[in-house]
Structure 1
Amino acid sequence: MTEKEFKVFHHLSQFVSDHKKEFVEKVLSHRTHHVTVVLEDIFQSQNASAVIRTCECMGIQDIHIIEMISKYEINPRVLKGANKWMDLHRYHTPGANNIEACFSHLHDQGYKILVADPDEDGASIHDIDVTDSKIALLFGNELRGVSPYALQHADQKIRIPMYGFTESMNISVSVAICLNSLISRLHASAMDFGLSEEEKNYIRLDWFRKIVKRSDLIEREFLRTIQ
């Protein structure tokens, strides 16, 4: 965080109640980059929004959205504002292989990419070692499932054990089950999977800007006084 950003943060903090600050710190203490979720060509806005809301509730800070065929849309009634507390990374360059771009970025960041697929040859989500490496969970299109490219280039296939006649679950339910399994075991482990102090500082500033009403005007006036 730069000196100017540090000063802006402390100025905005005057407009945030102690109760809200305590809540921010509580949420930040559980936030993680260790697990992230990737959505590939989700076309129903209620599904994408439900997934984002679930991820925010589970402490996930990042979601990666691949748009090859379907454009990412939101449903505000389902989302409940969850997206404003998270970092959404969209891969939607026309004519480009946005799946490849996403995979390359995730691998550069040290993520192991796990593709959710109902086939029996995938490993159970409950057997995944949560401390082995950072994990990116990819979920495919509601009708077609995961793309052939994603299946071929992912590091591993995972599945949710199911015992009924129906072969698949709604995507938001699948995400919730997978994250509950991984995050619960992370919290039970001795691993430090939380954010660094520098990462927390940037997120605090971003959140304070969203919490404080008319923060843009307040910040602009404050910067005039220190220039």
Structure 2
Amino acid sequence: MRKLKNSELDRLDIYQFKSASKIPLVLVLDNIRSLNNIGSVFRTADAFRIEKIYLCGITAAPPHKDIHKTALGATESVAWEYKKNTVDLIAELQKDYMCLAVEQTENTTPLNHFIPETSTKYALVFGNEVKGVSQEVVDSCQGVLEIPQFGTKHSLNIAVSAGVVVWDLWSKLQLLSKKK
């Protein structure tokens, strides 16, 4: 097998990306402290054509060299907005989106059991690297998704979590839309 050159990958340019249809999904970053994690989430959002990223609380916003280092230009393609208060944002988003925290709580829905509805738009909330999604934000969401884990550690890196959950929802939505 021959490795493909970037020119052979048939990727969109920024202008095509901005006008292309997006999957009905926004990401909410609740008090993320690592600039590298923020940049990585931007890259994941670009890869799967996410509608928008909301940066909340202490989460840094572009432009910043450490975000740019891992985003590799995705801060230019992906729509984003800073909101100081995550709970207020969730209340606003619930008008149009089902808001789901990605966290470990009582009565969570394991990600592998979650079946998204193609007629529903989703907002996924990811939390701080140490404290996770705050209890107040969890309480304001309409549900909680949990990534099943089977090792000794209790959590995944936020950028990894976002990649796993976005991929899972993207692939399920693609499959469901083909069945229609």
TM-score, normalized by length of structure 1? 0.65
Structure 2 unpaired stretches of 5+: 1-10
Q: Which residue of 1 aligns with 2:107?
A: 121
Query: Superposed, which structure 2 residues align to 1:53-72 within 5 Å?
Result: 53-67=43-57, 70-72=58-60
Q: Deviations over 1:79-118 (max 9, x none)?
A: 10101011101102xxxxx12321122112x101110113
* Distance change >3 Å, CA 179–CA 71, structure 1 → 2: closer
1:138 maps to a residue whose letter is: V
The answer (yes or no) to whether the contact 1:114–1:157 under 8 Å persists in 2 is: yes
Q: CA deviation at 1:42?
A: 0.5
* Distance change >3 Å, CA 158–CA 144, structure 1 → 2: same
* Distance change >3 Å, CA 53–CA 127, structure 1 → 2: same
Q: Hey, which of these two has a bigger chunk of strand by percent? A: 2
* Distance change >3 Å, CA 164–CA 127, structure 1 → 2: same
Q: Residue 88 of structure 1: which of 80, 90, 93 is its match?
A: 80
Query: Superposed, which structure 2 residues align to 1:104-143 within 5 Å?
Result: 104-108=91-95, 110-119=96-105, 121-131=107-117, 133-143=120-130
Answering whether residue 157 of structure 2 is matched by residue 170 of structure 1, we say yes
Q: CA deviation at 1:66?
A: 1.0
Q: Which of structures 1 and 2 has the bigger CA Rg?
A: 1
- Find the aligned partners of 2:149 and 2:106 in 1 and give their Cα distance: 10
The DSSP-based 3-state class of the residue aligned with 1:162 is coil
- Find the aligned partners of 1:80 and 1:143 in 2 and give their Cα distance: 25
The percentage of aligned residue pairs carrying the same residue is 23
- Find the aligned partners of 1:77 and 1:64 in 2 and give their Cα distance: 19
TM-score, normalized by length of structure 2? 0.81
Q: CA deviation at 1:27?
A: 4.6
- Find the aligned partners of 1:72 and 1:26 in 2 and give their Cα distance: 27
The DSSP-based 3-state class of the residue aligned with 2:168 is helix
After the TM superposition, which of the residue ranges 127-136 and 162-171 deviates more from structure 2?
A: 127-136
- RMSD over aligned CA atoms reads 2.5
- Give the number of aligned pairs: 164
Q: CA deviation at 1:129?
A: 2.6
Answering whether residue 89 of structure 2 is matched by residue 99 of structure 1, we say no
Q: Hey, which of these two has a bigger chunk of helix by percent? A: 1
2:33 maps to a residue whose letter is: F
Q: Deviations over 1:130-149 (max 9, x none)?
A: 22521111011111111111
The answer (yes or no) to whether the contact 1:112–1:135 under 8 Å persists in 2 is: yes
4+ residue stretches of structure 1 with deviation over 3 A?
A: 22-31
After the TM superposition, which of the residue ranges 124-133 and 77-86 deviates more from structure 2?
A: 124-133
